[in-house]
Amino acid sequence: MEKLFVVKIGGNVIDNDNNLSAFLTSFANIPGRKILIHGGGKIATKIGDQLGVESKYVNGRRITDDATIDIVTMVYGGLVNKKLVAQLQAKGCNAIGLTGADANIIPAVKRPVKEVDFGWVGDVNATGLNTANCRLFLDNGIIPVLAPLTHDQQGHILNTNADTIASSIAVALSAAYDVRLIYCFEKKGVLENVDDDNSVITLITRAKYKQLLNEGKLFAGILPKIDNAFDAIEAGVKEVLIGHADDLMQNTTENTSGTLITN
């Protein structure tokens, strides 16, 4: 099987021009097939403020009302996505900017209202991803750059978590490729001591994860990423790597510097 790298980059890197340029240089230099999934929440919040649309959150998750879906569509699918694509083209990487609606790549369903009405937020239909169209780009040397937007097949764009999109894409393509899913953020990996940036846990298996949880060594913010990683592995993804955006190139090799999560 050919190798495929599915890389997710968070908003904290996108917000810093120098960090972003360095990251995109690394991404452009990854050989072979690759996909980039990006966030961009702070930029959406800033532009919303400028337009007089207040950002509302419940438990850290954005409420996407009618005005907000227009803003995140403009920012994620337009401003951020096309800037990334233009910079990748300048670095010799033939990228194409997409949302989940383009080529019907990521159909989703509007999140049902329970305790909270999240508005135009989408939950990915994992079995409905259009892998044939994804492969059409990949097999012709075109690099998909996916904004965190999906669609409900009823004409509505939906705001969707970028980590979830990355995991869903990685799982869907794991039948055709040997997939490594890489989550890039501002830490060097999963830390044993949250106050020590060098306390990276280099390998986490299910048994090791259970041990770390029992010892209370993991900070709460990283747990959803690790759970997401194990879900992806159980669904067919070979490896998941959590690491610093600056270490992307090294983390595409066998000699990784972040946290490798595997069975």
- Read off φ and ψ for residue 8, nearest 5 degrees: -110, 130
Residues marked as binding for substrate? 40-41, 62, 159
Rg of the chain in Å (alpha carbons): 18
Q: Which residues pair with 149 in a beta bridge?
A: 159
CA-to-CA separations, 143 to 28, 132, 139, 194, in angstroms, rounded: 9, 14, 9, 35
Residues marked as binding? 40-41, 62, 159
β strands within 39-137, DSSP E: 57-58, 61-62, 95-98, 108-110, 122-124
**Which residues are within 8 A (CB) of 64 and not within 5 positions of it... i.e. 6 or more apart?**
72, 118, 119, 120, 121, 158, 159
